[in-house]
Structure 1
Amino acid sequence: MYFKAATSMLMMSLALTPTMINCEPVRALVYRGPTACDGCPESLRDLLVATIPNIKVEFAGPKEKVKINAKSLKGVNILAQPGGPDLDAAWREARPYASDVRTWVANGGRYLGVCLGAFLAGHDSGFGLIPKGDRIQQEITRPNPPIDDGSDIVTQIDWTFQTGRKKGKTERHWAYFQDGTTFIRSSNSPAKVLGKYVSNGDVASVLNSYGKGWVANIGVHPEADQSWYDDAGITNPEGVQTEIGHDIVNALMAAGSVRKATAY
């Protein structure tokens, strides 16, 4: 949930998992429209392209050639929803095709939600793609958050890698944050925790199944390139690092089969 100038820099890719190398060409839709922040769709596209070499990415939205609906989702592997400033506005726009998204994921699609996109995966004002009993909440409303207002900052998260040479290793990294999500899991939630905010231990990223499909959500912006930091006037102590972004995309794709969704 963040405004920025529409600039984006293609990021270097990590070593890919065998699943990524052996799969057939991957198709992705990235939402781009009035409820996304400026430049966020392009940065999310760049992350996908840098992570998966055999991917074809198209933008989809109310002013794009491709709209999000049952027809456009047929044969698509990934639907990626970027950040934006207003959940209510985003849900008003997305609600007419929410059932199509749920059906597509349930039949094998993969949903990637970043910041506002993660809010849209929830049960309230969202697609309902997270486990029953789980909730999504603004991290800034929680005890001891990284910050208690909507300012753009860098914050630390403890990230447990799911793929590649660091699989199973937890590392502390700085990441771009602006009024992002946390995930309140029920006592028996099947959602897998990928990352936690260092400031209070709240969950910053999760991966869960939904029917035959998979859903990955994250409250920070792993797609942020140098232009984001320049525009906000902040500095990442590590420089721009893309490991978290590559890992969440690879984890989403490596979960279960990577065959194209055949929902329709």
Structure 2
Amino acid sequence: MWAGLRRGAAALAVAAVVVASACGAPPSGGGGGDDGDSYSALKGTPAPAAPDGRPLALVYRGPAACDGCPEAAHDMLEHDGFTVRYIGPDEETGFGPDALAGVALYVQPGGTSGQEVSTAWGLLKRDPSFSPELVRAYVRGGGRYLGLCMGGYLAGEEPGYGLLPGDSGQYIGSRDATVTDDRDHLVEVAWRGHPQRMYFQDGPYFDVDGPDVDVVARYTNDRAAAVVASYGAGRVAVSGPHPEAPADWYRDYGLPDESHTGLGLGEDLLHTLMGAPARPTS
């Protein structure tokens, strides 16, 4: 099982062209996160491990990510027992043919507020060492991809990696959305059928279908908010809301602090991504 929450017990248990996405950074740009219990075991196929024996995750940090978003993802993953390194044009680890060798998980975090998906994709591709096929081949060969907000948009088609059995779309523009602007909000979702509130800033929904798709959470208009699906021999998890959001993101925008709940949901999403095969929903 995955380690427990930072504070308290764990919570419970588009076929459209995307023109804009926010997934913005908090004013403080903070990551948050404190030490938690260690990752104990993965079910299913053993994941590659870092030299310290823990599974190794690479988190993108570069111009296509917002200030504080890679750090928040880093802290969530480290809390749950990963060894975490950053990958990007100015990081010690850069993209290249062998960059993802021995990596258990690749994470594409949130992007800058108001940034169009096409802009983020263009900034990724501006790195001469980056190639979308590097990530596709990694996942297709058995790797894991976690996309948070902008990373969820980019898991879709044109522009994007094309890792989903379907596409991503802009939730605030969808019919009967409860959030209809790109400011920072709490959004209501049903996570495995149970009501939850999560930090949200212009994140996507997912229009997906297939025999190996687990819709983990839905918005109140029934659009998929968090999904785990197969891609080749690998797996993909995406979330429109931010389970990794630390307490200061809530505080900076005057929102009730749901960071402990978010981390519990993030733990569930990670366990589903890294563990047993996805459970299709009816």
TM tier, shorter chain?
Answer: 0.7 to 0.9
My pick for the range that moved more, 83-92 or 104-113, is 83-92
Which residue, 78, 93, 100 being the options, matches 1:73?
A: 100
Tell me, yes or no, if the aligned pair for 1:69 and 1:101 is still in contact at 8 Å: no
- The answer to whether the aligner puts 1:48 opposite 2:77 as a matched pair is yes
Alignment of 1:1-264 (within 5 A): 1-4=23-26, 5-10=28-33, 18-19=41-42, 24=49, 25-51=54-80, 53=81, 55-85=82-112, 86=115, 87-95=117-125, 96-131=130-165, 134-160=166-192, 170-186=193-209, 188=210, 190-198=212-220, 200-236=221-257, 238=258, 240-241=260-261, 242-256=263-277
**Deviations for 1:213-264, whole angstroms, at most 9, x for unmatched residues?**
100000000001111011222224x5642210111111111045xxxxxxxx
Partner of 2:3: none
Task: Supply the distance in 1 between the matched residues of 2:98 and 2:34 (Cα, whole angstroms).
Answer: 31
Q: Supply the RMSD in Å over aligned alpha carbons.
A: 2.2
Tell me, yes or no, if the aligned pair for 1:14 and 1:246 is still in contact at 8 Å: no
TM-score (norm 1): 0.84
Task: Supply the distance in 2 between the matched residues of 1:205 and 1:65 (Cα, whole angstroms).
Answer: 31
Task: Supply the distance in 2 between the matched residues of 1:158 and 1:14 (Cα, whole angstroms).
Answer: 27
TM-score (norm 2): 0.79
- 3-state DSSP of counterpart to 2:235: strand
Task: Supply the distance in 1 between the matched residues of 2:159 and 2:96 (Cα, whole angstroms).
Answer: 18
**Deviations for 1:67-123, whole angstroms, at most 9, x for unmatched residues?**
123211111110001101322222113344101110010111100000000111111
Partner of 1:163: none
**Aligned-pair CA distance for 1:14:** 7.8
Tell me, yes or no, if the aligned pair for 2:145 and 2:236 is still in contact at 8 Å: yes
Tell me, yes or no, if the aligned pair for 1:139 and 1:180 is still in contact at 8 Å: yes
- Structure 1's unaligned 5+ residue stretches are 161-169, 257-264
Task: Supply the distance in 2 between the matched residues of 1:148 and 1:69 (Cα, whole angstroms).
Answer: 39
Tell me, yes or no, if the aligned pair for 2:244 and 2:259 is still in contact at 8 Å: no
- Structure 2's unaligned 5+ residue stretches are 1-22, 278-282
Tell me, yes or no, if the aligned pair for 1:30 and 1:59 is still in contact at 8 Å: yes
Calculate percent identity across the aligned residue pairs.
35
Question: Which is helix-richer, 1 or 2?
Answer: 1
**Aligned-pair CA distance for 1:175:** 0.3
